[in-house]
Amino acid sequence: MLLKSPAAVELTVPNENYMNTYFRILKYIKRFWKHLTASMVFTVFAALLEGASVYLSIPLLDTLFQKAGAGASQTTQQLQTQIQDKAGSAVSNFVNEITASIKAYIFAGDTSEVLLKICMLIVITFLGKNLFGFLQAYSLAYVEQGMIRDLRNDAYLHLHKLPMSFFKNERTGNLISRITNDVNLVQSSVSAVFLNLIREPLKIIVFLGIAVSISWKLTLFALAVLPVSMFIIGYIGLILRKQSGLLQEKMADITNNLHETITGVKIVKAFGMENYENKKFFSETQKFFRLVLKITRIRNISSPTTEFLSVIVGVVIIYYGAQLVLIDHAISASEFFGFLFAIFQLMPPVKELSTVNNRIQEASAAADRVFEILDIEPAIKNVEAPVNINDFNDAIIFESVSFMYNDSDEHVLDSIDLKVKKGNIIAIVGSSGAGKTTLVDLLPRFYDPTSGKILLDGIDLKQIRIEDLRKLMGIVTQETVLFNESVRNNIAYGLDNFPEEKIISAAKAANAHNFIMELPKGYDTVIGEKGTKLSGGQRQRISIARAILKNPPVMILDEATSALDNESEVLVQEAIEHLMHDRTVFVIAHRLSTIRNADRIIVLDKGKIVQDGKHDELLTDSKGIYSKLYELQFRE
């Protein structure tokens, strides 16, 4: 199935779905609850100490601008009088008592002692605030990176469970983009929730508490901007979610374009299409550029709007507060300045909170693309109680096997009945599109039959554990798949600490040892991506050596020599003969000369077996497809 584009998801999924997506993200975060708890605790201490550092400005101003030398008893008496004047609830009285006690301690002594105490307390509070800030940031980074690692690992792991039909319909660049770029975007949502939605509200509570303790009337002015801000923030967040999804899709287009150009660079150069590919790539990057600018405009309008509204309220506060100080004498000048410090300290967390919804929306749009892969149920998977096998003993039987692809109404295979005894070499021939490759792809369960069944030693393949089934089979295809590692690691693919002598023995059997020893570092030579440092024949022989080392009882050879020159074909054919020895082999071959000695040849046409027999038998039917194919190849 094709993955839906983010635009399609946006049209079909309700708006509240982003919260469901976020709850799924939280499941990954739960694994790191210890570090997350520590981060939250450090956040609380950092916020309280930041509030304390601001609150210390009031006694500092009192010391600087009031008469010096006021004794502790006089200061305490003044504070008690203020408390009685401001008598209210039990909670407020308790807070005021604590405040009075702190101020009594600070103001005890002469002016020099008071200043020293205040300065030392300021140093301690800032030291503590920054220490806890560092610990909080480190703990949260551990959670973020751990969550990203696990999400990316799960997505990669799930890709291996998906059937071949999924990869036939999906763009490689799109999948790469989802597991790299989209997963990275999800990271920002962790800090948005567990940093901003905890730290910033804590700061707001602390500074708001300071402001309310000084003057509740002035505090009301600071809150006037919130309803308008929240409306603007929510509206911008909805727009950002949609645009962010489009942005990730465009990045997938760029990644796919880049992947295709790099892997097909030889054809690009051969056809002189550099300018064409450049224009196509530049067109995609220009579209991405415009989308980024559009999102940047939308994202950045939220913060300045909130700040501007906050400044308007701040100006009103200054005007009204000055009247309370100069005319009504309701609060002192030092308290008013302390109130201003607290209120203006409120602005950064309010601004930060204004971006939280945007970041959650963007991260949720990216997470949707990742979870869309994770939500694909593999069509081919183990049954609840699969049969474990470790060998092939008797026969492979196709019983009325038919197959069609999901996006097609035509049968690729139609009512195939075939029995292959252990040790037989079965050649499969037919024109292009006859269903040859599809037939052998059913054996390792790259696909499952649409109808009918395939039995291995009397057991339906669907009942066998997939891992056990595929261990019994080796595959060599026309398009060799090698990795950018050493020759040794490519031959011993997936095998750790494999004996050197067995690797060399497999290479010799594949006619590969001699050319490997001529490489700069022999078996330790890195052969480049897809083996680009080797010739076609050399790559194929490395692939055959890998299959020989695996030593499977069943081999599938899919046109393994069709793309080789005559000299390479001879060497590869000799290697294949070693590979086929004492094994059950399914051979797909265009070159009929390579299958003359097959135990049995079946001819496919339009998904049906139309001929079945040995080479000489099939040639006697002059009107048969096999004779026509043979004549076309050898008429000279």
Cβ neighbours for 181, distance < 8 A, ≥ 6 positions apart: 248, 251, 252, 255, 366
- The reported pLDDT for the residue numbered 1 is 37
Q: Worst-scoring range by mean pLDDT, 229-243, 323-337, 465-479?
A: 229-243
Kindly state the DSSP code that residue 310 receives in the 8-state scheme: H
- The reported pLDDT for the residue numbered 15 is 43
Q: Worst-scoring range by mean pLDDT, 207-211, 319-323, 567-571?
A: 567-571
pLDDT-derived band at 464 (thresholds 50, 70, 90) equals very high
Considering 338, 354, 374, which residue would you say is the last residue of a domain?
Answer: 374
pLDDT at 207 over 50: yes
Contact between 540 and 568 under an 8 Å Cβ cutoff? The reply is yes
Considering 316, 342, 374, which residue would you say is the last residue of a domain?
Answer: 374
- The reported pLDDT for the residue numbered 120 is 82
Token pair for 261: 């150009």
Q: Are residues 617 and 537 in the same domain?
A: yes
Q: Are residues 359 and 478 in the same domain?
A: no
Contact between 575 and 605 under an 8 Å Cβ cutoff? The reply is no
- Summarize pLDDT for 328-353 with one digit per residue, the tens: 777 777 777 777 777 777 767 776 77
pTM, 2 dp: 0.65
pLDDT average, residue stretch 379-391: 88
Q: Are residues 191 and 289 in the same domain?
A: yes
Judge whether 190 lies within some domain.
yes
Kindly state the DSSP code that residue 179 receives in the 8-state scheme: I
pLDDT at 14 over 70: no
3-class SS letters over 460-525: EHHHECHHHHHHCEEEEECCCCCCCCEHHHHHCCCCCCCCHHHHHHHHHHCCCHHHHHCCCCHHHC
User: Could you write out the DSSP letters of every residue in 541-585?
Assistant: HHHHHHHHHH--SEEEEESTTTTS-HHHHHHHHHHHHHHHTTSEE
Considering 374, 408, 436, which residue would you say is the last residue of a domain?
Answer: 374
Kindly list the strands in the beta sheet with 451-456, ordered across the sheet, starting from the edge strand earlier in the chain. 413-421, 395-403, 451-456, 459-460
pLDDT average, residue stretch 509-513: 84
- The reported pLDDT for the residue numbered 3 is 47
Cβ neighbours for 356, distance < 8 A, ≥ 6 positions apart: 192, 193, 196, 197, 200
- Summarize pLDDT for 403-427 with one digit per residue, the tens: 988 767 788 898 899 999 998 889 8
Q: What percent of the chain has pLDDT over 90?
A: 8
Number of H helices, E strands in the chain: 25, 10
Q: Worst-scoring range by mean pLDDT, 37-41, 153-157, 302-306, 360-364?
A: 302-306
Q: Are residues 358 and 499 in the same domain?
A: no
Cβ neighbours for 228, distance < 8 A, ≥ 6 positions apart: 309
Judge whether 618 lies within some domain.
yes
Contact between 355 and 299 under an 8 Å Cβ cutoff? The reply is yes
- The reported pLDDT for the residue numbered 407 is 67
Q: Are residues 365 and 433 in the same domain?
A: no
Q: Are residues 350 and 493 in the same domain?
A: no
Judge whether 289 lies within some domain.
yes
Contact between 562 and 578 under an 8 Å Cβ cutoff? The reply is no
d(CA 547, CA 510) in angstroms, rounded, equals: 9
How many other β-carbons are positioned within 10 Å of the β-carbon of residue 297?
10
- The reported pLDDT for the residue numbered 442 is 92
What is the pLDDT of the chain when averaged over all its residues?
76
Instruction: Find how far residue 251's CA is from the centre of its chain.
Output: 14
- The reported pLDDT for the residue numbered 237 is 59
pLDDT at 266 over 70: no
- The reported pLDDT for the residue numbered 410 is 83
Higher pLDDT, 446 or 530: 446
Number of domains within the chain: 2
Q: Are residues 436 and 330 in the same domain?
A: no
How many other β-carbons are positioned within 10 Å of the β-carbon of residue 303?
17
- The reported pLDDT for the residue numbered 71 is 43
Q: What angle do CA 476, 477, 481 make, to 5 degrees?
A: 85
Higher pLDDT, 434 or 93: 434
Judge whether 63 lies within some domain.
yes
Judge whether 455 lies within some domain.
no
- The reported pLDDT for the residue numbered 79 is 45
The string over 94-103, giving b where at least 16 C-beta atoms fall within 10 Å of a residue's C-beta and e elsewhere, is ebbeebbebb
pLDDT average, residue stretch 143-149: 87
Q: Residues, the chain, total?
A: 636
Residue 191 lies in domain? 6-69+109-374
Q: Are residues 44 and 143 in the same domain?
A: yes
Q: Are residues 193 and 284 in the same domain?
A: yes
Strand, helix or coil for residue 1: coil
Strands 451-456, 459-460: parallel, antiparallel or unpaired by DSSP?
antiparallel
CATH code where residue 584 lies: 3.40.50.300
pLDDT at 437 over 90: no
- The reported pLDDT for the residue numbered 337 is 74
- The reported pLDDT for the residue numbered 64 is 62
d(CA 595, CA 588) in angstroms, rounded, equals: 9
pLDDT-derived band at 33 (thresholds 50, 70, 90) equals confident
d(CA 346, CA 204) in angstroms, rounded, equals: 6
Judge whether 224 lies within some domain.
yes
Judge whether 386 lies within some domain.
no
- The reported pLDDT for the residue numbered 630 is 79
Q: Are residues 292 and 159 in the same domain?
A: yes
d(CA 30, CA 342) in angstroms, rounded, equals: 34
**Residue 425's beta-bridge partner residues?**
585
CATH code where residue 320 lies: 1.20.1560.10
Judge whether 74 lies within some domain.
no
Q: Are residues 305 and 428 in the same domain?
A: no
pLDDT at 461 over 90: yes
- The reported pLDDT for the residue numbered 354 is 66
Contact between 111 and 68 under an 8 Å Cβ cutoff? The reply is yes
What's the Cα-to-Cα distance from 389 to each of 131, 396, 455, rounded to whole Å? 59, 14, 13
Higher pLDDT, 107 or 143: 143
Q: Are residues 370 and 429 in the same domain?
A: no
- The reported pLDDT for the residue numbered 402 is 92
